[in-house]
Amino acid sequence: MSNAHYAVHGRSAVITLDHPPVNAMGHALRQALAAHLATAWADAAIDAIVINGAGKLFCGGADVKAFGTPASRAEPSSRTIVRQIEDSAKPVIAAIHGSALGLGLEFAMGCHYRIAQRGARLGLPEVKLGLLPGGGGTQRLPRLVGVEAAARLVADGDPVGADEALALGLVDEVAAEGELLPAALAFAQRVATQAVHPVASRRPLPPPGDAGFFAAERQRIGAARRGQPAPLEALACIEAATTMAFDDGLRFERERFDVLQHGSESKALRHLFLAERAAAKLAGIAPDIAPAPIARVGVIGAGTMGGGIAMSFASAGMAVTLVEAKAEALERGLQTIRRNYEGTVAKGRLARAEAEARIARITPTLDFGALKDADLVIEAVFEDMDVKKDLFGRLDAICKPGAVLATNTSRLDIDEIARATQRPGAVIGLHFFSPANVMRLVEVVRGAATSAPTIVTSMAVVRAAGKLPVLVGVCDGFVGNRMVAQYAREAEFLLEEGATPQQVDGALKRFGLAMGRFAMSDLAGLDISWASRKRQAATRAANRRYSKVADRLCELGRFGQKTGAGFYRYEAGSRTPLPDPLVDEIIVQCAREAGIERRSIGDDEIVERTIYALVNEGAKILEEGIAQRASDIDLIYVNGYGFPAWRGGPMFHADTVGLDKVYARVCEFERRHGDFWKPAPLLERLAREGKSFAKPE
């Protein structure tokens, strides 16, 4: 059978799970596994069974795509298989390499013994998908590792390494790298002669040492995971394990799992999980194009972005050449890099030696010639077309053939930059987000001439730096900033129509955004967008509505937090936005000048006006082929703009509301507020056909 193989080694049977990419425990794999187990049990020449995984890991978990479908529970279920293993007189040993996650680990806990190869990771990350381990994990784990450790593992969802798993009692032995199968076979023969084998579900479970343990944990988790039901439900299952018989505990776990599975949080988080996988698929690019190896990355500009980008690659083990135009700027950039790493060391999240190794990977220089060895160069200099074109002309002369030449521009035309070189196929946008050493998202912007190998290599190197690359096309602002401009415009119009900054921000935060629109502007600084508005003033249509509030604030020198005032005011040394009556006066004044009668505006309108502005623009972006799929837009918004993951991103949110309802509101806004709200034809079509962004055809 293709999903699992069977082999005999002496008196042991070895069953190998083999269902790429992650040996997910889908129905076909379970059928194959059950059949091979039956073969081993029936064969008198076999007295022990080892189960391992093919490829990079033991088992990555359940088949997420099958969640909620009949196939997910079709017999043989993993529960049935585990029951058979528990009753088996022949020992069953899980031999774990790579990782055993979710149902993969739950299954392993149902085996009599577990051996992990050094480097393996074991965990129950279900809470990260808004779920809890529903395959007996919450009942077996505490019986193996104790209540305290189990509560942490299921409620936080973070995996542990092989050695920690051994110390916890989760595995019985750790094998050296490359020694897993021989070690498992030797172990199997050692225990084969034992009359009985340990069964996790039959172990007694002592209550926690501290009687107040569960109450304290509930408080800790409630504070850390505000609004998320899954971690608390997972904890409740661990608590149930201490008070209920095993089978009752299993029933309780299944009940809580079902509630979460049908909840909107889990659906949104699973959507994002699958979206990350889908984002790696590149339409129109042959799958056999291999990424070029990247050993040295050149970064130009040691400012806000360049420093963070250099750190990202150095932290991932790549050599970085950091080039600046001026010695002072280079020194300042290096100081910031050192300070950032030292901050992480001080927090205990990075060993000092590792921080030093990372810093040592960055070679600072004022000599552009040093870029001749770079496999990838990323430019992060001033946002000025002439400066960038001049730079790319120079890079063209310096860089080796085959090198990828990338720009971190936020909105300049990448095709124009590419034309400054003789190799436009090698030019691409790598749009990192600030702070670049922290933010996961990178928009990989393909120009008209960007070659397939350049795209494939860029996606791979961004992933190698531990980040999330999403492929987009060229347009003003690419995907994220183009959409956010619509959202920002509506937020400002709402001020003139009657809202205050704190009211708009409050409604958006209650919706779930990490930060409101105006607090965000104050943090980012109002001056940069003011400068670009002044540049665009000459081309702006005179009869088009334009909110002057932000301009007025800038004219007063209110550039946001850095000047102590913007849409809010700030006390010295504080980042807390405080309402400012002066801002309210400016808003009222601007509204009066524009002939707008102010009215009272509720949370619902604030959310619909801003979020549907994102959705309508997202639909246009999809139609134009700037984004490959709606779920890519969701990834961009959740990972780059603080959109709540539990709502799945703006496009998923619109699907959840129903596109007919969203379309009706967009039409209503068009009637009331004019052609800013012209509905995207795609939105109109999907609404009329009763379809969704997720399934547009």
Task: Name the site residues for ligand NAD (rule: CB under 6 A).
Answer: 300-306, 323-326, 329, 380-383, 387, 391, 408-410, 432, 434
CA distance 478 to 636: 11
State which residue, 306 or 649, has the beta carbon closest to ligand NAD: 306
Question: Min. distance of Cβ 439 from ligand NAD in angstroms?
Answer: 9
Q: What is the DSSP letter of 368?
A: G
Choose among 505, 521, 514: nearest CA to 641: 514
Question: Min. distance of Cβ 533 from ligand NAD in angstroms?
Answer: 16
Tokens of 512: 């779930």
CA distance 33 to 672: 62
Question: Min. distance of Cβ 416 from ligand NAD in angstroms?
Answer: 14
Question: Min. distance of Cβ 414 from ligand NAD in angstroms?
Answer: 11
Tokens of 425: 């196929």
State which residue, 306 or 364, has the beta carbon closest to ligand NAD: 306
Question: Min. distance of Cβ 419 from ligand NAD in angstroms?
Answer: 18
Element of type H or E holding 5: strand 4-9
The residues, any chain, with a CB within 8 Å of residue 47's CB and separated by 6 or more, are 11, 12, 90, 192
Question: Min. distance of Cβ 450 from ligand NAD in angstroms?
Answer: 18
Q: 103 near 79, Cβ under 8 Å?
A: no
State which residue, 410 or 610, has the beta carbon closest to ligand NAD: 410
Question: Min. distance of Cβ 410 from ligand NAD in angstroms?
Answer: 4
User: CB nearest ligand NAD: which residue?
Assistant: 303
Strand 404-407 and strand 376-379: pairing?
parallel
H/E/C letters for each residue in 293-345?
CCCEEEEECCCHHHHHHHHHHHHCCCEEEEECCCHHHHHHHHHHHHHHHHHHH
State which residue, 214 or 432, has the beta carbon closest to ligand NAD: 432
How many of the other CB atoms lie within 10 Å of CB of 304?
14
List the alpha helices (DSSP H) in 567-646.
581-593, 603-623, 630-640
State which residue, 208 or 301, has the beta carbon closest to ligand NAD: 301
How many of the other CB atoms lie within 10 Å of CB of 212?
9
State which residue, 387 or 449, has the beta carbon closest to ligand NAD: 387
Which sequence positions are flagged as catalytic? 106, 126
CA distance 94 to 53: 9
Got the DSSP string for 161-173? EHHHHHHHTS-SE
CA distance 612 to 604: 11
Q: 443 near 472, Cβ under 8 Å?
A: yes
State which residue, 380 or 638, has the beta carbon closest to ligand NAD: 380
Contacts 24+ apart (CB under 8 A), 658-664: 659/683, 659/686, 659/687, 659/691, 659/692, 659/693, 660/687, 660/690, 662/612, 662/615, 662/687, 663/687, 663/688
State which residue, 433 or 677, has the beta carbon closest to ligand NAD: 433
State which residue, 69 or 382, has the beta carbon closest to ligand NAD: 382
Report how far apart the first and last C-alpha atoms of the chain are (Å, whole number).
35
Element of type H or E holding 99: strand 99-101
Question: Min. distance of Cβ 376 from ligand NAD in angstroms?
Answer: 16
CA distance 325 to 322: 10
Q: What is the DSSP letter of 519?
A: H
Q: What are phi and psi of 288, to 5 degrees?
A: -90, 5
State which residue, 15 or 309, has the beta carbon closest to ligand NAD: 309
Choose among 68, 469, 120, 462: nearest CA to 277: 469
CA distance 153 to 106: 12
